[in-house]
Amino acid sequence: MSFQELELIEPILRALKTEGYTIPTPIQQQSIPVILKKKDLLGCAQTGTGKTAAFAIPMLQLLAEDLVNGKKTKSIKALILTPTRELAIQIDESFAAYGRHIPLKHKVIFGGVSQHSQVMALQQGVDILIATPGRLLDLMNQGYVHLQSIQIFVLDEADRMLDMGFVNDVKKVIAKLPAQRQTLFFSATMPNEIKDLSNSILTNPTRVEVTPVSSTANTIDQYIFFAEKPDKGKLLIHLLKDKAITSALVFTRTKHGADKVVKMLRMASIKAEAIHGNKSQNARQAALQNFKNKTIRVLVATDIAARGIDVDDLSHVFNYELPEVSETYVHRIGRTGRAGNSGISFSFCDTEEKPLLRDIQKLIGKQIPVRVDHPYPIANASVELKAAHAPHVVSPKNNNHHSRKPNNNNWRRKPMAR
């Protein structure tokens, strides 16, 4: 199926062609026709499946149709609520890309920066508003934002809203929305509180589900390196000597840990920056931009700060520390190997983390191959699945995976629409 077959208008098709998009991802194929029919939608999809384009493209088309029909006002017609500043900015960039030939105004608002320029833009009129909950409520309370004309409401990354403690803020925003509206609800997981929230705000929704959280993409080569905690830094530096690792997103559990890894890498003359909640908004955006334009080769991030990071052709993801929640592993490594491209995931596991690795392997239903071709191996380096065969150990004689390019012939191709 092509985008043309989804009955999109010419200005959007022209914009998608400019972006290099031809074939919609599964969630786009399923969601776009539903949204164009002005139905509510419940989307179970994680980051990297193309869900931003799945809602942005049809929203632009619906609002463009209103322009043709003469419904031009300065009031906000669509609201996208998202948990992090980085994700909000990237959604705004998507609307700019797909809507470049449509005269609709979009604006992103978030905390951590002065509200002055945001207020000025709102006063000039905005059709589509992308916002984080805190700043949106602030501006609503100050009388700068009014939601009575909202036609389409998108709640994105609902489970992350719950994780970050934003659910009450979200409910306050929803209470100010008109009852007659179209609602699009997206969440990677569906814990009970999120199910209850979706039931309360959706009307006869169509459910769209892609890539269950327990699965990892077949395009990602996954490996485990057993190393004790004091050796992890040296192991990371050792692996990054390989110039075939063109871009590396490194995950740590804590903000302090992220800063510590960056300091260590810089001492080894490896350009790196950290992105986490203690960094100012400007510092976070600068780090992300430097990573995207290859000024730095390594970006070190915590899970919450990294949610929504969208980088073309990310070659490697490193789990410097294994996550305590197994599903987080799937989200982390899913930032590479997107849209048919290949990617590589390296995870470091010390003795204390073996139970976490066991849980991850149980969730994804397979044994992750163990790499022993490094200077810092530990004894008894195996974690077996129950009733599984012994782990696949990759030795130096039969493997050079960390220095090879992904095995897809089109690995340099631009990823599909997000």
For position 171, what pLDDT does the model report? 95
C-alpha span between 258 and 266 (Å, rounded): 12
- Structure pTM? 0.62
Q: Which fold has domain 220-403?
A: Rossmann fold (3.40.50)
In a 10 Å sphere around its CB, with 0-12 CB exposed, 13-18 middle and 19+ buried, how is residue 77 labelled?
buried
Residue 351 DSSP symbol = G
C-alpha span between 246 and 234 (Å, rounded): 19
For position 313, what pLDDT does the model report? 79
What are the start and end residues of each CATH 3.40.50.300 domain in the chain? 4-209, 220-403
For position 391, what pLDDT does the model report? 38
- Per-run averaged pLDDT (10 residues), the chain, 418 residues: 92 89 89 97 80 95 85 85 87 92 95 92 95 96 96 93 89 96 92 92 94 66 95 97 93 91 97 85 85 93 70 89 84 77 91 92 90 86 50 39 37 36
C-alpha span between 251 and 88 (Å, rounded): 21
C-alpha span between 304 and 324 (Å, rounded): 13
Order of strands, sheet of 128-131, starting from the edge strand that comes earlier in the sequence = 106-109, 128-131, 78-81, 152-155, 182-187, 41-44, 206-209
C-alpha span between 277 and 291 (Å, rounded): 18
For position 345, what pLDDT does the model report? 95
Under 8 Å between Cβ of 418 and 28: no
Q: Domain 4-209 has what CATH class?
A: alpha beta
> Token digits for 410?
């089109």
